[in-house]
Amino acid sequence: MDLKSKIILISGPTASGKSKFAIQLAKKINGEIINADSMQIFKELKILTARPHRIDLKNIKHHLYGFKSVKDNYSTGNWLKDAKLKIDNIKKKNKTPIIVGGTGLYFKALINGIVKIPDIPLTIRNRIRKKQSKIGQIKFYSELIKLDPLCKKKINKNDSQRSIRAYEVKKFTNKSLFDWYSETYSDFNQDSFIKLHIDYPREKLIERISIRTNEMLRDGAIKEANRFYKLRVKKDLSSNKVIGLSEIKEYLDKRIDLTELKEKISIKTRQYAKRQSTWARGQMSDWQKIKFNTLKSYLKKIS
């Protein structure tokens, strides 16, 4: 199996061993690794985001890890722009780009391109949200279908988030959200990609998550979180979503003990892994699924 001329994409739920697999693959095919995890970009949060260890970073070239401040905004569009530059640079060195992470939107943007919808003013967005809240989802959905009939077969009547998005896009741009989608293209030929998804049994994943939670706390996650809170990061920034931060704040405020802290972080991580798996089933149906216990044999087949 010759993968050297391709762009390798590796996804999987958190704690499934993606990073380790990517490193082993990079060693075999002379590859370099590009991060596709929206939380591992933050330089101040190494432990809580499970960034690759220093020795791994030394042995294999890694890109887009720990390079943004927790005080920065960083969108999917920003990542796509940076990732494309890294892919080009890696290919110029006759090496193979290996993109690994758990942020589905990053992969979707890379494969399909990113929708260039104009920014919708906050006043309009708030007005539409208030309307949906006031009349209820059933009536709001009915009005959406009248406004944009393309939504009828594309959006479930109970999906309030997508309904609101489609409504605001049509209202502001006078163009269907799905027309915007159809005019969106990737910079890459679809044959350029090898798409691999690590399939991990939930019960095994729960065990790994529990072990990793203990290791994070042992390695200094509480001190890392304490330093984060001293930076007084704005509440609306995405770095606040890193799992463990709010739980450790509870611990530091003496509202929970260490046992409860471990349990809360583990539960939230399991919930996140479940959302990732749900995304994969819906959005990554054409990806090659690799069972966790066949990763070694997969590597042996690679030339």
Range of the domain at 133: 122-182
Q: Are strands 193-199 and 62-63 parallel, antiparallel or unpaired?
A: unpaired
Average of pLDDT values for 49-66?
93
Given a cut of 70, whether residue 174 has pLDDT beyond it is yes
Quote the tokens at residue 261: 């802290």
Q: In terms of domains, do 216 and 284 share one?
A: yes
Given a cut of 90, whether residue 251 has pLDDT beyond it is yes
Last residue of a domain, one of 142, 165, 182: 182
Q: In terms of domains, do 238 and 163 share one?
A: no
| Residue 233: predicted pLDDT | 96
For residue 14, tell me if it sits in a domain. yes
Q: pLDDT tens digits, residue range 85-108? A: 999 999 999 999 999 999 999 999
Given a cut of 90, whether residue 54 has pLDDT beyond it is no
Q: In terms of domains, do 85 and 131 share one?
A: no
Prediction pTM value: 0.84
Q: In terms of domains, do 221 and 295 share one?
A: yes
For residue 2, tell me if it sits in a domain. no
The per-residue b/e assignment along 58-90, b for 16 or more CB within 10 angstroms, e otherwise, is: eebebbbbbebebeeebebeebbebbeebbeeb
Q: In terms of domains, do 152 and 270 share one?
A: no
Q: What is the CATH number of the domain that holds 143?
A: 1.10.20.140
Q: pLDDT tens digits, residue range 198-249? A: 999 999 999 999 999 999 999 999 999 999 999 999 998 999 999 999 999 9
How far apart are the C-alpha atoms of 37 and 45, rounded to whole Å?
A: 13
For residue 252, tell me if it sits in a domain. yes
How far apart are the C-alpha atoms of 122 and 221, rounded to whole Å?
A: 36
The distance of Cα 79 from the centroid of its chain, to the nearest Å, equals: 11
52 with 21: CB under 8 angstroms?
Answer: no
| Residue 253: predicted pLDDT | 96
Q: In terms of domains, do 95 and 197 share one?
A: yes
Last residue of a domain, one of 159, 182, 205: 182
| Residue 2: predicted pLDDT | 67
Confidence grade of residue 145 (pLDDT, cut at 50, 70, 90): very high
| Residue 1: predicted pLDDT | 60
How many structural domains comprise the chain? 2
In the chain, the percentage of residues whose pLDDT exceeds 90 is 84
Q: In terms of domains, do 141 and 270 share one?
A: no
Q: In terms of domains, do 252 and 191 share one?
A: yes
Q: In terms of domains, do 13 and 146 share one?
A: no
